[in-house]
Structure 1
């Protein structure tokens, strides 16, 4: 396992993107699919989701993820999380939610009961921009998903330059996003560390987004692909080559 979180800044600004696999504690993960993830060569695994997430099912999934040889990341979204051995803890801040609860309130609640046990040196605020209006996270947070380029540019500047948030995560949550928009943002802010997640099921999609974003997240493909091992291999090769 890798414990040094400094690796996440290496790829910003044009180097090879990293591949992260997102696993949802609220969804059943068959052993054959887990074995495909385990052998995928992905740079890391994120454990997190929006619906039906509890401390118990989070801990259950973590028992599998604990031995993964890459980065092991937990999204801090539920109270009572007892996982203390993750390499990174991502605290999601939904930047395009009109209710400040999803920027700071929910996060402070999730962290409140873990005082004294939080490994702060491994905790990262992540600026999420939710862009799929039909997604569970958009409906939960009432995110303003119909943002134009100027509004998105404002979020990039606010998060990257004003707030110093280390990563901006463009979350299309299950649908293929706007690659041209990602290209325009990358051209405008070449050094802003950007993550893309949403709808990647094959090599060309992964290759396309890896030209503009520093980290690529795949999620639904883990649960839906007919040949997951092959899909993950092709996605990884597209990103790395």
Structure 2
């Protein structure tokens, strides 16, 4: 499924979105809707958002950041493994506890692990996971190749949440990958940034702009998919 994705809208359960705006997002032509956030994610607001998105015929996936907010009924479950964290908890610790607790009911065929590389030190995800964000191009590429060739992860995710990243770095990381698909997220806010990111990565993730300028958010789909 993810091999065909070029554009994904990411919705935060902790943020309000009207029915009209959600309708526009889900009928925009995007390849999928990802539900997830770095804070304020609960079982209740995740269930609510899933039930609203499920009215539309497009893939809906959950990016898990909070164990208590895991909800059945998604098409896929994206599991972040923060490669450049200073804490083992965000690389494997939380994951081990989840498997220990819920392993008997985990739908393993729907689980997609992501090798996250967080590169904006000011974003919530970086602070939460204690990510070492000041990485050089070679260091970022080494992390990505570790995910691709050593860990065999299907997705490498370059996360600049809150700012538009270094597209030369993104392109270099992309060229270094053999099997993993490169997701890029951060600062995509209009047609031009969408095109630049799409040229550098396999899949672009568009999130924050949905809540501040819906028209600009929708233009990112047209920029990628015509």
- Cα distance in 1, alignment partners of residues 219 and 88 from structure 2: 40
Deviation at 1:70, TM superposition (A): 1.5
Deviation at 1:110, TM superposition (A): 4.0
- Cα distance in 2, alignment partners of residues 34 and 63 from structure 1: 12
State the secondary structure of the residue aligned to 2:183.
strand
Normalised TM-score (structure 1): 0.87
Q: Equivalent residue for 2:204?
A: 216
State the secondary structure of the residue aligned to 1:69.
coil
Q: CA RMSD in A?
A: 1.7
Q: Conserved in 2, the CA contact under 8 Å of 1:24 and 1:49?
A: yes
Query: Higher helix proportion, which one?
Result: 2
Q: Equivalent residue for 1:14?
A: none
Q: Conserved in 2, the CA contact under 8 Å of 1:79 and 1:111?
A: no
Q: Cα–Cα, structure 1 residues 108 and 59, in superposed 2: closer, same or farther, change >3 Å?
A: farther
User: Deviations for 1:7-42, whole angstroms, at most 9, x for unmatched residues?
Assistant: 2235xxxxxx61111011111222232122122111
Q: Equivalent residue for 2:105?
A: 117
Q: Does 1:141 align with 2:129?
A: yes
- Cα distance in 2, alignment partners of residues 188 and 161 from structure 1: 10
Q: Conserved in 1, the CA contact under 8 Å of 2:141 and 2:172?
A: no
State the secondary structure of the residue aligned to 2:200.
coil
State the secondary structure of the residue aligned to 2:8.
strand
- Cα distance in 1, alignment partners of residues 98 and 69 from structure 2: 8
Q: Equivalent residue for 1:13?
A: none
- Cα distance in 2, alignment partners of residues 190 and 238 from structure 1: 26
Deviation at 1:160, TM superposition (A): 0.2
Task: Choose between structure 1 and 2 for higher RCO, CA contacts under 8 A separated by at least 6 residues.
Answer: 1
Q: Which runs of 5+ in 2 are unaligned?
A: none
Q: Does 1:9 align with 2:3?
A: yes
Alignment of 1:167-206 (within 5 A): 167-189=155-177, 192-206=180-194
Q: Which runs of 5+ in 1 are unaligned?
A: 1-6, 11-16
User: Deviations for 1:94-122, whole angstroms, at most 9, x for unmatched residues?
Assistant: 11001110001123334544333321101
